[in-house]
Structure 1
Amino acid sequence: MNQQTVYSSRASTLEVNNMLKNTYMLLSMTLAFSALCAFISTFVGIGRFASLGLSIGSLVLLFVTLKKAEGASGVFWIFAFTGMQGASLGYILNHYLAFENGSSLIMQAFGLTSAIFVSLSFYALTTKKDFSFLKGFLFAGLIVMLVAGIVNIFLGNSMLFMVTNAGIALLMTGFILFDTSRIVNGGETNYVRATISLYLDFLNLFIALLNLLGANRD
């Protein structure tokens, strides 16, 4: 191995480490901000249509954030997106808070989500295994879950609801491995986009687990 190769390897490792540092720092801040916005919307008691409007608004902001990710305004837009996304959770959180021990149910879902996220991220970071082979399966599964969710809006079938959320939870575990390995192996070099991916993995896993844990009490 010549000296140029050594320098190139060190530079690559340094870039990845900086990328990881920036990503997880921004992820922790956006999750905290999102949680604050969720708390405020829960306290205010937003209704179903307000929650739907915020969800649609956050989807628009998601596309704006992805477009602005390379610019200086990317950080501003990711906070706008995650804040609105967190605020949209107010309705569903109040739904479960109305249950007996509802706050405990939410904390269980959050704790389980955090444990799964940290464990899988740690595995992907330490092994540096390439999980790009999961891409086709994950995106195909995501489309199936989206279609099943839309169909169940009209059917209102409790079994399909459980199966869909279980499928989403399983898919998100795969996405955590996939998205983390992309950062580690240089597949993603923009920390704003990387943060968005991991944030959505965490959020969707949390909602799916909350629905599964609360299904027997609903």
Structure 2
Amino acid sequence: MNVFDRSINFDALFKFSHISASTQEHLKRVYGSFAICMFVAAAGAYINVVTHLFQFGFLTGLGALGLMVWLIATPHNRETEQKRLGMLVGFAFLTGINLGPLLQMCSSVTPSIIPTAFLGTATIFACFSLSALYARRRSYLYLGGFLLSGLTLLLLSSLINAFVRSTWLFTAHLYVALMIMCGFVLFDTQLIIEKAESGDKDYIWHCVDLFLDFVNIFRELLIILGMNENKKKEKK
């Protein structure tokens, strides 16, 4: 028997039989909105880098936070759908602008850091998302408590490091934060599925969850790659 004669059944590969048809349609909307957010955030980041708007970072940060609060406060229904989509696009744009200073810093070190970090983030996000989608339902929801505890420890370590100024603690913080954000991709993806199965079809807010996971992973990778590149230059 020639194993090379076997064909791949792509229909079976992308078949999620444990997820209902309505939830699969919901996920299509979530990831479609996510793609729009990525495009708009990239445009915002590019505009910031080109026009040097990073000096207004505090104002754009407040704007992004305000849009998020407004989005939460606005109920999800057909009448408000277009308005909430506008809020989502504005939030993604301001989030991209807020990445400007970090992108500028990484670009000054080595421009290749940015595409490397993006490809790394996209690969990580895709792998963990597919793991959550293919896994048995609710199998990763137990991570919620561990992830929230991890975030609390990260906050405490940041407060401590504000006084001790330890490079080792800062580096450990970055890698632990990256692992926690990867865990949130698993957790949030399965939580979205369970919410959709229970009747919560707010794909706009579910998109925000995944978008923030992606941005946080991207930010951590940018800092880690930037630090490593700096260390290489110092050794030379």
TM-score over 0.5 for the alignment?
A: yes
Cα 1:108–1:69 change in 2 (3 A) is farther
Cα 1:85–1:153 change in 2 (3 A) is farther
Aligned twin of 1:129: 137
Share of identical aligned residues, percent?
Answer: 27
Does the alignment pair 1:55 with 2:61? Answer: yes
From 81, 85, 94, the equivalent of 2:91 is 81
Cα shift at 1:67: 2.0
TM-score by length of 2: 0.80
Q: For 1:150 and 1:88, how far apart are their aligned partners in 2?
A: 22
Cα shift at 1:82: 1.0
Aligned twin of 2:176: 167
Q: Which segment is superposed worse, 71-80 or 108-117?
A: 71-80
Q: Which segment is superposed worse, 76-85 or 183-192?
A: 183-192
Cα shift at 1:69: 5.3
From 120, 124, 128, the equivalent of 2:128 is 120
Cα shift at 1:153: 4.6
Q: For 2:118 and 2:71, how far apart are their aligned partners in 1?
A: 25
Q: For 2:59 and 2:160, how far apart are their aligned partners in 1?
A: 20
From 99, 106, 116, the equivalent of 1:96 is 106
RMSD: 2.0
Superposed, 1:33-72 pairs within 5 Å as 33-47=40-54, 49-68=55-74, 70=76, 71-72=80-81
Q: For 1:149 and 1:192, how far apart are their aligned partners in 2?
A: 31
Cα 1:16–1:67 change in 2 (3 A) is same
Q: For 1:149 and 1:61, how far apart are their aligned partners in 2?
A: 27
Aligned twin of 1:111: 119
Structure with greater helix percent: 1
Give 5+ residue unaligned stretches, structure 1: 1-9
The residue type paired with residue 141 of structure 1 is: G
Q: For 1:104 and 1:122, how far apart are their aligned partners in 2?
A: 27
SS state at 2:53 partner: coil
Aligned twin of 2:216: 204
Q: How many aligned residue pairs are there?
A: 205
Cα shift at 1:178: 0.5
From 21, 28, 42, the equivalent of 2:35 is 28
SS state at 1:162 partner: helix
SS state at 2:66 partner: helix
Aligned twin of 1:191: 203
Are the equivalent residues in 2 in contact too, given 1:176–1:201 (CA < 8 A)?
yes
Cα 1:16–1:109 change in 2 (3 A) is same
Aligned twin of 1:216: 228
Q: For 1:129 and 1:162, how far apart are their aligned partners in 2?
A: 34
Q: For 2:164 and 2:52, how far apart are their aligned partners in 1?
A: 27
Q: For 1:146 and 1:36, how far apart are their aligned partners in 2?
A: 31
Instruction: Map Cα deviations across residues 100-153 of structure 1 (whole Å, 9 max, x no partner).
Output: xx2211111111110010011111112243121111111121122233335445
Q: For 2:22 and 2:226, how far apart are their aligned partners in 1?
A: 42
Cα shift at 1:159: 2.0
